[in-house]
Amino acid sequence: MQNFLIIVPDGGMLFEPTGIADILMQANRLRPQDSPNPPYQVTIATTQSHRVIHGMSGLSLLADYRLSDLDPSQSYGTVMITGKGMNVEEADSVIAWIRQAAPRTGRIVSICGGALLLAKAGLLDKHRATTHWRLLDAMQAEFPAIDVEKGPIYVQDGNIWTSAGVSSGFDLTLALVEDDLGFSVARSVAQDLVMFLRRPGGQSQFSRFLLSQASTPGPIRDLQSWILENLASDLSVEKLAERVAMSPRNFTRVFTKETGSSPAKYVEEVRLDAARQHLEQSSDKIEQIAVVTGFGNSLNLRRVFERNLQLTPSDYRERFYARTSEHTFI
């Protein structure tokens, strides 16, 4: 049996730690018949001076312990941090504790913004890691020694596992179960809890990235609105520059400065986002979607999907189509 400690900062989404605990308890129930003892002993610790964890929903969770009551020199099988906390003092207490506990911990795990605490503790230096997509750029800028991966829903590098935002922690936890107990147990847990079975860690974070918007009103912001309404048009840099009466070179410089993205990258992202919406919400053929979103043909659409999401358009539709009725896709 391994002790599995879940550190829960205040003010987060409580379905993360409770869902993770449920997955581990289900693994205990479905463990191999020749295992006399449950594989996981789950403990939930709060960063507060009391045992009540307040969630952002207004609900509360009663923790087993206060983190300050736990000895960091004790050996732990797994220590997981489910968020970055609400203030500096709370974060600092977790950082100090995990820094002391790390040498005697078999596996260190973060969910969502918890990766920032591992980063500040120095535990992610020279490691691959990920976090919620809103925090990726900030983490890379603040911690250049970390190899921040911006696509996967979770990343394993040695004994350190990090996940993207919110429910991706469930995918990571199921992967931990498979790592500990094998594929059959993980599959049974996934089936009982109606989860994706072994959704690959290399899967892209599917949350929609907010489209870059120009920092101030003016020609660039107006052009962005026009692009969204004319995805099937010629959106080359030359044509876009002509539309705002700039040279291509100056246009690229101004657009990138105001939006944080090059014109070509912006166009690809908005076309990709539109194609995803079509795949999720319509029964249009993939070739037709490719045309109306400006990719021209299904081959171009497939290349962009595989490069950005590591999925084909057909696979994406299979996973995310809102099935209000039965359709056949060709």
pLDDT given for residue 100 in this prediction? 97
Query: Residue 330 above 50 pLDDT?
Result: no
Average confidence (pLDDT) over 25-51? 93
Burial class (CB in 10 A: 0-12, 13-18, 19+), 18: middle
Burial class (CB in 10 A: 0-12, 13-18, 19+), 112: buried
Residue range 140-183, pLDDT digits in tens: 999 999 999 877 889 999 999 999 988 899 999 999 999 999 88
Residue range 106-138, pLDDT digits in tens: 999 999 999 999 999 999 999 999 999 889 989
Name the fold adopted by 2-193: Rossmann fold (3.40.50)
Tokens at residue 250, please? 């100056």
pTM above 0.95, yes or no: no
Q: Where are the domains of the chain?
A: 2-193, 219-320
Query: Residue 322 above 70 pLDDT?
Result: no
Percent of the chain exceeding pLDDT 70 equals: 91
- Tell me the CATH class for 219-320: mainly alpha
Residue range 245-292, pLDDT digits in tens: 999 999 999 999 998 889 999 999 999 989 988 888 788 999 999 999
Q: Are 133 and 154 in contact (CB under 8 A)?
A: no
Average confidence (pLDDT) over 227-244? 95
Query: Residue 25 above 50 pLDDT?
Result: yes
